[in-house]
A and B are shown apart, each in its own frame.
Chain A
Amino acid sequence: MSTIWARDWTWSVFRSPKDGRIPRRLPKIGFYGASIWIVGCLLIAALAQVISPYHPAQISLDARLSPPLLFGGALEHLLGTDELGRDVLARLIYSIQISMLVAAGGTFISTLLGVSLGFLAAELGGLVDDGVMALVDMQAAVPFMITALLVITIFGNSLALFVCLVGLHGWERHARIARGLALTARNRLHVTAARTYNASRVHIYARHILPACAPTIVVGMTLGLTETVLLESTLSFLGLGIQPPMSSLGNMVGFGRDYLMTAWWIALAPGLVIAATAIALMTISESLRQMRPR
């Protein structure tokens, strides 16, 4: 559902936002809390192999389905174990790593693709511009989940395909924003001045236009990261994303669903992490958006 908010945020980039009525104190606390959480997740993702108490695939059949510490469990398994005796905390840590990697990779690809196409459309104009905008319209008109599922049906489920698919999500928003910003920036005086000393188009885009667009694009990336995390976890939950033996956050919730009655912690822990990460990312992008105007 955040896609709808993202869609309209794209338009509001070009009008001046008037919503300064939100009390200022709340975003600050939220922003720091959210940043701490995200940094924590990134650290966990980076150091997963080091800090994890067990190997995620390590099976221990005599400790199957044991609850977390505060609900009657043992100290060795802080968050309990799943149906094969694998430690939930360990699987959670590795899942964070994989989910973060896929989400970050996907966001990076989609931003790169979107910004490049947007700049291309702005610079070349004419048919190229019309073509890119038609593609953008088509991508924006149909919810991504639908096309993603069609592609998965036809082409199967490999990891590479999944990352590419995740990378295709959201490019149209970046393209629209980049195109609009580039069209404005091209008419600035310093760009004209650069043309008078024979600066190539590449130089102008890299040194003059990109720095002007960068703040907005970065905010778009954080928003894109939120959506990518949610997309990846939803697809994995449905069993159509990251496949076992790799575990992602959505994956764990999906498999934990079968044990909801008896071992609810298997599904709840990763679900809470997903929710917290999404909320944190959304808070950060909101705060960045409000900080932006110079």
Chain B
Amino acid sequence: MTLPIGPPRVRTPRPSTEPILELRNIDFCYPAARRSTAEVLGGARLTKINMSIRRGEAHGLIGESGSGKSTIAKLLLGLTAPQAGQIFFDGELLTPARLAAFRLRVQPVFQNPIDALNPATPIGKQIIAPLLVNFKMKSSGCQARLAAAISAVGLSGEILGKLPHQISGGQAQRVNIARALILDPEVLICDEPVSALDMTVQAQILNLLSDLRESRGLSLLFISHDIRSVAYLCSEITVLKRGTIVESGSREQVLFDPKTDYMKSLLRAVPNSELGLETESLTSKPCSQPVGRRHLPAQR
């Protein structure tokens, strides 16, 4: 597989109707001697999951701890296989034989940015590691892509020689995103990417993800327990409770017209807001428009 050297190709930024990633009737359970042990240990069971992500869209996944969000992330990254059901990527069924190619096009951003980096290797080497592993390129040949990835996430070249314990959490998460981008993927699976970061840094990373989605036409699966960030970023939202989907739909439907009591109680529990998160701090302009028209990244 040849990689284009140069600026990433610009895909159509508008969401198309065909889903790029789809879960159909997924059942999953962590293998354990007894079912009850698995449940007690907190390994989530997933039952009858149906979810689809379209091209270029930011899809949010909300749920409490233990609801199975990270399990879905693992399934979508090919790290584990479902007991029942299928995963479709770009219209094709995901099989173990296609897993390697699939992984080149679907990349993760994890929750603990510094833990996701190898403590013993300099940052520059870690970012180009996916290229070295998959395409047997030499490190000198990757410099152009490395520079492109670094500038895309807003870092400077000084960081390349440092070790992970020498950089901040926000910088580390940008490094992770750069590593994810270097393979030029089509989907980013973000498993609570900002939960471990400071508030100001959270906003920066969210904006970065949104910009990347627009400029590169990436699809995002944004998993979080924090409704505010999901509402800020995502145009489609799915709500997970104890391994089943309780609510799913567009942002407006889920946030302003929730059908289940669970979602309603979640929204009520969000501090500092009325239903719908009309807080000015999230948008740059003061909001005088009626509900439904915002300049949030979710709606672009």
Contacts and interface: CB of A to CB of B under 8 A. Distances in A.
Interface of A: 188-190, 192-200, 203, 207-208, 211-212
Nearest to B117: A190
Contacts of B228: none
A185 to B, nearest CB: 11
Nearest to B74: A192
Nearest to B133: A199
Given A199-B129, A203-B133, A212-B119, A193 B110 contact: yes
A188 B120 CA distance: 13
B112 interface: yes
A200 B130 CA distance: 11
B129 A212 contact: no
A189 B116 contact: yes
B10 interface: no
A195 B117 contact: no
Nearest to B109: A193
A188 B115 CA distance: 7
Nearest to A195: B79
Given A195-B79, A198-B133, A211 B118 contact: yes
Contacts of B183: 197
| Nearest 9 CB-CB pairings of A with B | A197-B130, A211-B120, A189-B115, A189-B116, A190-B118, A193-B116, A199-B133, A196-B108, A196-B77
B134 interface: yes
Contacts, number: 56
Nearest to B121: A207
24 contacts: A189-B112, A190-B115, A190-B116, A192-B79, A193-B117, A194-B129, A196-B77, A196-B107, A196-B108, A197-B103, A197-B107, A197-B129, A197-B133, A198-B104, A198-B130, A198-B133, A198-B134, A199-B129, A199-B133, A207-B121, A207-B129, A208-B118, A211-B119, A211-B121
Given A195-B79, A197-B133, 14 more contacts: A189-B112, A189-B115, A190-B116, A190-B118, A193-B108, A196-B78, A197-B129, A197-B179, A199-B129, A207-B121, A207-B129, A208-B118, A211-B118, A211-B120
Most interface-central of A195, A196, A199 (chain B CB within 10 A) = A196
B110 A189 contact: yes
Contacts of A188: 115
Contacts of A190: 115-119
Contact of A196 (B79, B117, B118): B79
A156 to B, nearest CB: 45
Contacts of A198: 100, 103-104, 130, 133-134
Contacts of B115: 188-190
Contacts of B107: 196-197
Interface in B138-182: 176, 179
Contacts of A189: 110, 112, 115-116
A212 B103 CA distance: 26
B106 to A, nearest CB: 8
Contacts of A195: 79
B114 to A, nearest CB: 9
A212 B112 contact: no
A195 B179 CA distance: 13
A196 B121 CA distance: 18
Nearest to B113: A189
A199 B107 CA distance: 13
Interface in B89-129: 100, 103-104, 107-108, 110, 112, 115-121, 129
A213 to B, nearest CB: 11
A102 B52 CA distance: 64
A211 B107 CA distance: 25
Contacts of B117: 190, 193
A198 B105 CA distance: 11
A196 to B, nearest CB: 5
B133 to A, nearest CB: 5
Contact of A207 (B79, B108, B116, B118): B118
B237 to A, nearest CB: 25
A197 B110 contact: no
Contacts of A208: 118
B187 to A, nearest CB: 12
Contacts of B179: 193, 197
